[in-house]
Structure 1
Amino acid sequence: MELHIVIEGSKDLAGQVYRQLRDAILTGRLAPGEQVPPSRLLATQLGLSRKTVSEAYSRLTLDKLLVGQIGSGTFVNTPAEAKPKPKRFESQDLAAGKLIEHWLNQSFPLSMRHIGPETRSQYDFQGGIPVRRQFPQEEWRQCVLYGLRQSSNSSGFYAETEGLPALREAIARHVSFARGVQCTASDVLVTNGAQQALDLIARVLVEPGSVVAVEDPGYPPARMLFAAQGANVVGVPVDNEGMQVDRIPDGTRLIYVTPAHQFPLGMPMSADRREALLERARELRAIVIEDDYDSEFRYEGRPLDSLQSLDVDGLVAFVGTFSKTINPELRVGYVIAPPAIRRAMTIVKGLSDWHTPTMTQWAMTKFIDEGYLQKHIRRCHGIYVARREKLHAAFNGDLQPWMRAVPTNAGFHLAAEMTAEVDMTQLLRLARRVDVALYTLDEFYYEAKPQPALFFGYGAIESLDIEVALGRVATILTELSQ
């Protein structure tokens, strides 16, 4: 047979033959089972050396496009019949199928999920995201380089599970200064974010059937984490003084609260309620988790002492994070663990991940010791003050007929209760149409009936955009009212 092969020039001759034969086979011009000319004959027809054609045939044979048959010649390979793919187990086929399906049905609240640029609205009030434009990139770069140098000089063995001594010392100084926490470096356990701190406490204290009390509304990832350990999670209502301590059930062994800045409503827990909570924990012999996630940012009044600083019985675990002050991607948190559970938590962390990455720990240590953290907090505080004032101006102005802000004096989010009847689903849908992302508080409620309210995070939205976004919301509310 003759093949239509065109040789151009004198370079890569074998490659030219190979590519043209390969294209002929893949496009079907050379059918499976069809014989190709002997290498000597094809070389003569093309005016090439036999070695050149043989090299092209060898490459096609390695690609399994040609196959040689002794005594018969070389043929286009006939692909074997595709074997049916084996049926792989689906989640429902496994012995743990119901548990897997349970997790597949779980989800984080919309206001806390990762949002890609393709779905992010121009004006987005998502919560939990600190200001980014003011982040001290140059100072952080110096700290990371310092961390790399320190790591390169390390022994190469695993580091201390509790965290680097230098970072634990820096954290102890920081929380003592910023929140009045009573601790030393030996009380600090460095974790991969606050979420791991909650996980470690739950692993140590919770077993199937254990009663865990959480605020309702409250922080869903904490509630979901406790339930994952088999806990009987009980939602305790909150009022304008915080968790209603007298509603904490008997038999509770773990209590989760956000006393400095109740999540998501925002009010601080009153001094009387704090004393009552500690007394109730003493009666129950229960551990209290004080999640102090963003109280470094305060705007008015004297800051209340941390719950941990009032604890004389060693029942409060103070959990903090640098995700809200610096960057959520950093994943560095800590827990000031009470003596009764500190050693157990350290063992459990060692089983979980040995220790938090040391390079990041060294960088964080320098960031604190050089004063960059406090400087960054002061810079962000000024920005949040301006944004907060913009929100309050709207609540007291164009938005006043429909909502009012829940009083708060810390953090970088606000909750606003609806004071007029509004179709919330319609409001959110119409706001998205004009590129404004709003979020309700519905997903933060557990057992209590959700109250009509909106969640306004102001870390991710620029100050100049707040007035524009809320102006569009006011327009939508006016149209819905009419």
Structure 2
Amino acid sequence: MELHVVINGRKDLAGQLYNQLRSAIESGRLAAGTQLPPSRLLAEQLGISRKTISDTYAQLTYENFLTGVIGKGTYVNTRPAKNQPKQSHSQLASAEVIESWRNLPVFLRHPTLEGSLRYDFIGGATSKGQFPQDDWRRCTSHALRQIAGSKGFYSYAEGLPALRNAIARHIAFSRGVNCQDEDVVVCNGAQQALDLISRVMTRPGSLVAMEDPGYPPARLLFGTHGATVVGVPVDAEGIEVDKIPDGTRLIYVTPSHQFPLGVAMSQARRVALLERARELGAIIIEDDYDSEFRYEGRPTDSLQSMDEHGIVAYVGTFSKTLLPELRLGYMILPPAILEAVVRAKQLTDLHTSTLPQWALAKFIAEGCLLKHIRRCHAIYAGRRERILSRVAGDLSPWLEAVPSVAGFHMSLRCKVPIDMPLLVELAKKVEVGLYPIEPFYYQRAPQDGLLMGFGAIETLDIDPALDRLRDILQQLS
């Protein structure tokens, strides 16, 4: 390591060295576990005797600042934490702003390995065992070779050209999205896409309309930008377009697999939504988060494919098709906002990490993504059928499924009054994770029901978990 020590003159050499080393350790500049240079090397670098170095190391070791490991060297010791009182957020000039962030509710946080339940119907998560590790490892090796051959400069804010081309080809084929490479912006998951679009489209007081019930992280994000979020009811055909208020600048929808209910927006409602947005001068955010998994009927094209006026910003993610930990998403932006969003992206993080971008570009180009989606589709279809069979069978006295044909979660409505907090608590006691849909409602009166994710629970675990759910429902009855 490189140690910064300055010796002035020839007086009290040991004292100078001692004071500088001790100060560096106490301030944290020399962190616990840092190895110090051997005494012979440091003596040569500073032009002082080796004995002076050794005596100083010995004194600091005696005072517990350093520790010696035989055969390895001298290391900075772990220091006890100082109990100096730190300034609280309430004492800062920005206390009100900080408090508003501290008070934001936490939604959809996935449990850690230690805190997870044996049977978990959590939404938005996939079975890690399905991830094609060997293919991804090979693509990552390719990515490392690409980076090794680069000049080491910052990359494109809008994403690597190779990945933008791969995404444009993939979604044109799988979702009917009408785009060119230059329309694609790569981002750190769909959440960053929502943040960037909101940054350039809203100011404090701007109206944002979104489905109610809907996706809470989107609603909270729009709110942190100062926007006034209006919840618009959802029926069997999707968002009720005629209830989108005048003055709305941004409309957030999940038309292919409404979150959380799962209904698909009808063709007539899609036409009406596009017309309403054009009248308002608003941009529609189409969050197409998991509709590549479709189980019934012909695939529905994206809302973006119907857009003739450049008012739909299409947002996609690889968190659902691959892994949430990758944090890779993308936007297909209309010309009116493309340049502004790229500028916002550049100011926010310069660009998304290029290592996963290179790997994903090769992964898609070689057909690995489509192969993975087909394999997972068969697995999720089996899980979905098993849940639907049980809901139509022994769980039918209490629950009914909301019609849904895509994704890897479904909603179950309560047919009779059920104490949902008690149900969730009792289920935890028998290692079953259940999630009510009530928190997803915003301004509408919530309905009782469950969001049943089947992406993360193994197929063979579904029946044992639903057996336990049935037994609890019988007890509550």
Given the superposition, is the C-alpha separation of residues 466 and 87 from structure 1 closer, same or farther in structure 2, using an over 3 Å criterion? same
1:287 maps to 283
Per the alignment, residue 389 of structure 1 pairs with: 385
Q: 1:214 aligns with which of 210, 217, 233?
A: 210
Give 2:100's aligned amino acid: H
Matched-pair contact (CA < 8 Å) for 1:131–1:380:
no
Where does residue 91 of structure 2 map in the other structure? 93
Which residue in 2 is equivalent to 1:125? 121
Q: Which letter maps to 1:103?
A: W
Measured against aligned partners, the alpha-carbon deviations of 1:173-197 in whole angstroms (never above 9, x if no partner) come to 1110011011010110111111111
| Equivalent in the alignment of 1:61 | 59
- 1:135 Cα deviation after fit: 1.2
Residue matched to 1:116 = 112
Following superposition, the deviation at residue 400 of structure 1 comes to 0.1
Partner of 2:104: 106
Matches within 5 A, 1:428-467: 428-467=424-463
C-alpha deviation, 1:285, in angstroms: 0.5
**Contiguous gaps of at least 5 residues in structure 1:** 1-53, 67-81
Q: Report the number of matched residues.
A: 411
Matched residues, percent identical? 57
* Bigger CA radius of gyration: 1
Deviations 1:407-465 (A, max 9, x none): 00000001000001111111111111111111101211111111101010011100011
Aligned equivalent of 1:317: 313
Determine helix, strand or coil for the equivalent of 1:133. helix
Alpha-carbon distance in structure 2 between the residues aligned to 1:101 and 1:292: 33
Structure 1 residue 267: Cα displacement: 0.4
1:298 aligned residue: 294
Measure how far apart 1:85 and its partner are: 6.1
Contact 1:387 1:466 (C-alpha < 8 Å) held by counterparts: yes
Partner residue of 2:372 out of 370, 373, 376: 376
* Matched position secondary structure for 2:153: coil
Which ranges of structure 2 fall in alignment gaps of 5 or more residues? 1-51, 65-79
Q: Give 2:223's aligned amino acid.
A: A
How far off its partner does 1:303 sit?
Answer: 1.7
Distance 1:438 1:62 in 2: 56
Q: 1:134 offset after TM fit, Å? A: 1.7
CA RMSD in angstroms comes to: 1.9
In the other structure, the counterpart of 2:72 is none
Cα deviation, residue 104, structure 1: 1.4
Residues 85 and 426 of structure 1, relative CA distance in 2, 3 Å threshold: closer
Alignment of 1:39-438 (within 5 A): 61-63=59-61, 65=63, 87-109=85-107, 112-438=108-434
SS for the counterpart of 1:440 is: coil
Give the superposition deviation at 1:56: 10
Deviations along 1:85-142, one digit per CA (max 9) or x if unpaired, are: 6543211111221221221122332xx2120122211000011012221211110000
- Measured against aligned partners, the alpha-carbon deviations of 1:340-391 in whole angstroms (never above 9, x if no partner) come to 0000011110111111111111100000010000000000000001100110
Letter in 2 for 1:462: E
The structure-2 alpha-carbon separation of the partners of 1:90 and 1:370, relative to structure 1 and needing over 3 Å to count, comes to: same
The two structures have a TM-score, normalised by structure 2, of 0.84
Runs in 1 of length 4+ with deviation above 6 angstroms?
A: 54-58
Measure how far apart 1:164 and its partner are.
1.0
Answer whether contact 1:259 1:269 (CA < 8 A) is retained: yes
Cα distance in 1, alignment partners of residues 257 and 166 from structure 2: 24
1:430 counterpart SS class = helix
Q: Tell me the residue number matched to 1:76.
A: none
Opposite residue 205 of structure 1, the aligned amino acid is M
Q: Report the 3-state secondary structure (helix = DSSP H, G, I; strand = E; otherwise coil) of the residue aligned with 2:128.
A: coil
Measure the CA separation in 2 of the matches of 1:304 and 1:371.
Answer: 22
Amino acid at match of 1:169: N
Question: Kindly tell me: are residues 85 and 380 of structure 1, through their superposed partners in 2, closer, same or farther at Cα, counting changes over 3 Å?
Answer: closer
